[in-house]
Structure 1
Amino acid sequence: MTKAKADAARGPGVRSVLSRLLAGRPLDAAEAENLFTAFMEGRAAPEETAAALAALKVRGETAAEVEGGVRALRSSMIRVELTTRAPAGRRPGGGKPPDPPEELSRFPDLAGGAVDTCGTGGGALTTFNISTASAVLAAAGGVGIAKHGNRSFTSKSGSADVLEALGIPIEVAPEAQAPLYAKRGFIFMFAPAHHPAMRNVAGVRKALGVDTIFNMLGPLANPAMVSRQVVGVADPEKLPLIADVLAGLGHERALVVHGTPGMDEISPLGPTDVIRVENGVAGADRLDPADLGCPASGSADDLAGGTPQDNAEVIEGVLAGNVGGAARAAVVLNAAAAFWAAGAVDDLQTGATLAERTIDEGGAADKLAQLRG
C-alpha cells in the first residue's frame, strides 16, 4: 500500500480533525481513534498535539472521544495475556500457602477476573497512593491484581514511585508478567514498558503541565485488558463519562468513584459518589463509610501524600496493622471495592470485613513481603 493510500485508510488528517476540535465540534469514536493513532505514531507535530489536547480540555471530552482514544492506545500497546493466578498468599521464606479466606472459597480461580485499581490523579487532595495500597491488600485477600501505572506527572508520588520505595520491582519485562501473575497473583505493569508509543506525546504533556484526556486514557488502557476495575476520578463531573466508556468497552464489573473532599478514591472522611458498571449497565449510588463499618473520622491531613518514601512508610504501617484511623479506613474501603469488582463478594460491606480481617490476621504484611522477593 502506498503512503497516500495508507493515510486515506486512516481517515481525516490531523489538521482536518484539529480544525473540527477548534470549532467546538465533538468527534465520534472513529475520528478520535484516528487522531490519537496519529499521536501515537508520531504523525502529529507537537504544536498540533498540544492544540488538540487543549481544545478537548477546554470544551470537555465526550465518552466517544475517550473511547476512541482508549482504542488507539490499546492498538499500540504491548499486551499481557493472563490465564492463571496463584493461591491467596504465601508465607515469607516459602512453605504451604495459607488457605484462601472462607468468603473466597467459591472462587477457586479468578484468572478471568483480574482487577486493576487506579485513579486519574489531579484531585484536590493529594493522598498517599491509596489505590496502590488497596491493590496489595486485595491481592492478600485472594484477588488477582493486574495493576497498571506510571511515575508521577502531577504529584510527588505515582504508583510506580511508591512501589519502588516499598521494594517491589516495577521494571518487569512484558513477557515476564504472565508467569509472575501465575506465581504471585499480583503484577505491576509499568506504563512506559507497555506503551512505548506514548513517548511521542510525553514532551507535550510535560510542557502543558495540566491534566489532559491522557489522565483518563491511561487508567482505561490496561495492558492485561482487564474487564474488572476500580477507577477513581478527581472531577465528579467526569463520573458518568468514565462509566459510559467502561460500559462501552465491555467491562464486566467496575466501580467509578469520587470521594469527599475531592479524592479520586473512596473516602473515609465523608460520602463517596459511585457509579457501578455491571455488564454494560451503569447505576449511580452514594456511599457513606459508616454503612461499610468505617464511620467517617479524621481529617484530610491523615491521608496527605508526601514523597514516595513517606507514602511507603504509611502503606507498610497500614498493611502491618500498625497504622489505624483514616489511613487504614481508606485502604480498607478501596480494597473492599476491589473485592467487589473481582466478584469475590456480593457487597462492599462484606468486602470491608474481609479487608479488615486480612490485615488483622497478618495476610497483608505477608503479601507485601512476598512481593518484595
Structure 2
Amino acid sequence: MKEILQYLFNQNTLSRSEAQSILTEIAQNKFNTAEVTAFITVFLMRNITLEELEGFRQALLRMALPVNLDCNDALDIVGTGGDGKNTINISTLASFIIAGAGQKVTKHGNYGASTITGSSNVMEELGYQFKNNSEDLSRDLEKANLCFIHAPLFHPALQSVGELRKSLGLRTFFNLLGPLVNPSKPQFSIIGVYNLEIARIYQYLLQQDQRDFAIVHGLDGYDEISLTSDTKIITKNTEEIFTTQDLGFNAILPESIQGGNTPQESAQIFRNILEGKGTDSQNSVVLANAAVALHHTHKFGDYQQCFYLAKESLESKKALACLQNLIK
C-alpha cells in the first residue's frame, strides 16, 4: 500500500484494473486502518476519475453475493448521500409510494456514514429485519411490492470499511459506489447526486449499461429533487432542467424538509408521512421524487398521471400498507 499511496500522492490516478485490484484487497482486509484511511483521504483531496470509479464498481460487483429475484422490471431510487443537507429520508419514502402505486422496487441502502440517518438506520428503527438471501427478499417483494437490500450483507468491501466510514463522518468515494452496485441489478435506476461533476461521471459510466437510468441533481446542492430550487435530470437520451412549477409544485424552504437529529426522530417523521400526517412540504417532496421515478419507467402514462398515482398511493395509505406488510 505504501507504493500505491506514494503514487497517488504524486498526483497520479489509477487505471481501471488497478482500482479494481486495490478495492478487492481492501475488502480482504490486507491493509491496516491507517493505510485504508490514507487511501480514502486521497479521494477527499481530489475528484475520482471515471476509470477509478469503474474499477471500484467492478470490484464490488464481482465480490457481491448474488441476488436473484423473479422480477425483470424492478426500480431502485437512491441518492449518493453526502450532500450535507440532513433531509428527511426522501428516496426511501418515495420507494414505498412507488411500490404502493404498483411498481416493484428493489431498494438498495446502507447505514448513514456522512449523515445522521441512512436508509438502513430508518428501516431498522421501523422494525425491519434485514434479509441476507434471495429467497427472503423475493418473499418481501411479493408481499410488499418492495424489498430492502442492506448493502453490507451483500458487499464484503462495504462491511469491512463500515466502521471506518462512520468514524470519519465524511463523504467518501464509497458514497458514489452505493447507487451503482445494487446486486439485484434493477432495470430502472433513479440516482440522486450532489454535484454536476459527479453527474457527468455517472452519465458516462451508466451509458454503457443495458439498463435505464435517470440522474437527478438539485441545483442548490441536493442529491434528489428537493423542490427548494430547480432540478437537472439526465437520462440516456435527454438532459433537462425542471423548475418546481414544471413538476407541479410550489418552491419550498430547506428547513421544511429537515430530517430528525436521531434515527428515532427520523423514523417517526417517516411513519408520520406515510400515515398521512406529513406537512405539505414533506408530502410534496416525496411525491415529486416518486412521480418522476414512475414516469421514468414509461409504464404509467405521462408525468401528470404518474403524479396522481403517487398521490393516490400516499393518500389511500397504499404506501403505508407496503411498509406494514414488509415489517410483519
Alpha-carbon shift at residue 20 of structure 1 (Å): 3.0
**Preserved CA contact (<8 Å) 1:64 1:245:** no
After superposing the two structures, state which structure 1 stretch, 140-149 or 150-159, moved more: 150-159
| 1:232-274 deviation line (CA, Å, top 9, x unaligned) | 11233311112222223x1522121121542211122221122
Q: Secondary structure at the match of 1:156?
A: coil
Question: Does residue 69 of structure 2 align to residue 82 of structure 1?
Answer: yes
| 1:303-346 deviation line (CA, Å, top 9, x unaligned) | 00112232233333332333241110110011113213434235
1:256 equivalent among 209, 215, 221: 215
Report the equivalent of 2:325. 370
Report the equivalent of 1:99. none
Report the equivalent of 1:273. 232
Report the equivalent of 1:239. 199
| 1:55-108 deviation line (CA, Å, top 9, x unaligned) | 22312101221111111011111121111xxxxxxxxxxxxxxxxxxxxxxxxx
The letter for the 2-side match of 1:270 is S
Change (3 A) 1:366 1:207: closer
Change (3 A) 1:266 1:251: farther
Question: Does residue 7 of structure 2 align to residue 20 of structure 1?
Answer: yes
| 1:221-241 deviation line (CA, Å, top 9, x unaligned) | 112122421111123331111
Report the equivalent of 1:144. 104
Q: Percent identical across equivalent pairs?
A: 30
**Preserved CA contact (<8 Å) 2:122 2:267:** yes
The letter for the 1-side match of 2:248 is G
Question: Does residue 27 of structure 2 align to residue 34 of structure 1?
Answer: no
Question: Does residue 270 of structure 2 align to residue 310 of structure 1?
Answer: no
The letter for the 2-side match of 1:334 is N
What is the distance in 1 between the residues matched to 2:216 and 2:179? 13
What is the distance in 2 between the residues matched to 1:254 and 1:337? 12
Report the equivalent of 2:81. 121
Change (3 A) 1:304 1:251: farther
For these two proteins, the number of residue pairs brought into alignment is 326
Alpha-carbon shift at residue 287 of structure 1 (Å): 1.5
Question: Does residue 46 of structure 2 align to residue 59 of structure 1?
Answer: yes
| 1:8-54 deviation line (CA, Å, top 9, x unaligned) | xxxxxx44443332222222222211111111122233333222222
Alpha-carbon shift at residue 119 of structure 1 (Å): 1.2
The letter for the 2-side match of 1:61 is I
Alpha-carbon shift at residue 208 of structure 1 (Å): 3.3
Question: Does residue 168 of structure 2 align to residue 208 of structure 1?
Answer: yes
What is the distance in 2 between the residues matched to 1:338 and 1:138? 8
2:141 equivalent among 181, 187, 196: 181
Alpha-carbon shift at residue 143 of structure 1 (Å): 1.0
**Preserved CA contact (<8 Å) 2:291 2:307:** yes
Change (3 A) 1:68 1:340: farther
Change (3 A) 1:272 1:64: same
| 1:105-143 deviation line (CA, Å, top 9, x unaligned) | xxxxxx212111111112131111011100000000111
Report the equivalent of 1:86. none
What TM-score comes out, normalization by structure 1 length?
Answer: 0.81
Report the equivalent of 1:108. none
What is the distance in 1 between the residues matched to 2:266 and 2:316? 23
Alpha-carbon shift at residue 207 of structure 1 (Å): 4.2
Greater Rg by CA: 1
Q: Secondary structure at the match of 2:161?
A: helix
**Preserved CA contact (<8 Å) 1:321 1:360:** yes
1:134 equivalent among 74, 86, 94: 94
**Preserved CA contact (<8 Å) 1:305 1:311:** yes
| 1:262-294 deviation line (CA, Å, top 9, x unaligned) | 2211122221122113xxx5x321111211222
Report the equivalent of 1:6. none
In the alignment, structure 2 segments of 5+ residues that lack a partner are: none
**Preserved CA contact (<8 Å) 1:114 1:342:** no
1:214-225, aligned counterparts within 5 Å? 214-225=174-185
Change (3 A) 1:67 1:124: same
